[in-house]
Amino acid sequence: MPAILNADLHCHSVVSDGTLTPEELAARAKANGVELWALTDHDEIGGQRRAAAAARAQGLKYLTGTEISVTFADETVHIVGLGFDADDPRMAEGLSATRGGREARAREMSDQLAQVGIKGAYEGALKYVGNPELISRTHFARFLVETGVCKDTGEVFRRYLTDGKPGYVPHRWASLRDAVHWITRSGGVAVIAHPARYRFTPNEEYALFTEFKAHGGRGVEVVTGSHTSAEAVRYAETAREFGLAASRGSDFHCPDESHTDLGQLPYLPGELTPVWELLADRIQ
Ligand code: AMP
Ligand code: MN
Ligand code: MN
Ligand code: MN
């Protein structure tokens, strides 16, 4: 498939912190002109069967997907996995272990928010949760908007849910090495998600890309809903420098919250190797 392709290889359903079902996402992707799609729920592959079936029903080409939470140099990094075998037990076990800490973290977040006068946040967040194993900061953010504490989810993250703020609980996720291995050993390609979002020094970023490659990682998101056009240019250069394939994805979560809709983003720069070229035999 060509580099100039409306591929959207990053989005979320109710199986993690999105608000649409896999079927609703498939229909929306199709309506928006997406040609190749992947559902990439956080630390979960529970929506993969439904997504693949919905893609087939819509006449969309599909790659399996997930977005794994990783801790690297004391920062949370997201690694997208594409085109793996969703029935591989190594992937399922790794993701299950990664999800395991979320419940206790959520209770601690709620306790901290109570200390600044916001009561019942755990129960409030749970109302938005589609998957009991996947309670995330996004669900807390929706509750704080509902109760009028903040006007939108962006404000909730700025005031409460980021490092140093009263509802932020540091958490240790999977290692970079494990996440890349779960993906590659189940036949997929590992991709560094939205690299411009991390607060790394140049040395730390260099270490991330170097170690990611050494573990077998092969791709980086260049065009994403999280990047400005200048950031896309910058990471196109990084992709070339490290010999990585380029990926493209909206990171769509919700019609009311996401500023980038499914498939509505610039094409990949033509001179890069698109990640779907590495995955030609994994496309369903
Ligand atoms: P968690 O995995 O529970 O730490 O939640 C991470 C999720 O929170 C991300 O995948 C985004 O969906 C959301 N998120 C993180 N930062 C922001 C932000 N500044 N504004 C809105 N949503 C955010
Ligand atoms: Mn999310
Ligand atoms: Mn992410
Ligand atoms: Mn995402």
Closest C-alpha to 278, from 250, 239, 252, 251:
239
Band the pLDDT of 66: cuts 50, 70, 90.
very high
Q: Choose which residue among 41, 69, 110, 137 to substitute to test ligand 1 binding: the one with the highest number of ligand atoms within 8 A of its C-beta.
A: 137
Q: Ligand 4 centroid to 251 CA: how many Å?
A: 5
pLDDT digits (tens, 9 = 90+) for 73-100: 999 999 999 999 999 999 999 999 999 9
Looking at residue 217, its pLDDT comes to: 99
pLDDT score of 258: 87
Determine contact, residues 39/65, Cβ cutoff 8 Å. yes
Q: What is the dihedral of CA 64, 24, 245, 91, to 10 degrees?
A: -30
Please give the distance, rounded to the nearest whole angstrom, from the Cα atom of residue 252 to the centre of ligand 2: 8
The yes-or-no verdict on residue 270 having pLDDT over 90 is no
- The confidence band for 186, taking pLDDT boundaries of 50, 70 and 90, is very high
What is the number of the ligand 1 atom nearest to the C-alpha of 135?
3
Q: How many CA atoms lie within 13 A of 88 on its CB side?
A: 18
Closest by alpha carbon to 245, among 278, 216, 214?
278
Q: Are 189 and 83 in contact (CB under 8 A)?
A: yes
Q: Evaluate whether 254 touches 225 at the Cβ level (below 8 Å).
A: no
Place of tokens 């250069």: 237
In the structure, ligand 4 is a single-atom ion and the residues with CB under 5 Å from it are 67, 251
Our answer on whether the CB atom of 99 is closer than 6 Å to any ligand 1 atom is no
Contact 133, 44 (CB under 8 A): yes
Residue 252 — φ and ψ, nearest 5°? -65, 135
136 lines ligand 1 (CB under 6 A): yes
Q: What pLDDT, on the 0 to 100 scale, is given for residue 83?
A: 98
- Expressed in angstroms and rounded, the spacing between residue 136 Cα and the centre of ligand 2 is 8
Regarding the beta carbon of 28 and ligand 1, being less than 6 Å apart is answered: no
Q: With contact defined as beta carbons under 8 Å apart, do 199 and 163 qualify?
A: no
Question: Is 40 a pocket residue for ligand 1 (Cβ < 6 Å)?
Answer: no
pLDDT score at 2: 86
Residue 52 has pLDDT above 90, yes or no: yes
Is 2:30 a contact under the CB 8 Å cutoff? Answer: no
> What is the pLDDT confidence band of residue 1, given thresholds at 50, 70 and 90?
confident
Residues 112-147 have pLDDT tens digits of 999 999 999 999 999 999 999 999 999 999 999 999
Percentages of the chain per state (helix, strand, coil), in multiples of 5? 40, 15, 45
Nearest-ligand number for the alpha carbon of 103: 1
Pairwise CA distance, residues 137 & 153, whole Å: 10
Q: Is 16 in the pocket of ligand 1 (CB under 6 A)?
A: no
Kindly indicate the confidence band of residue 197, based on its pLDDT and cuts at 50, 70 and 90: very high
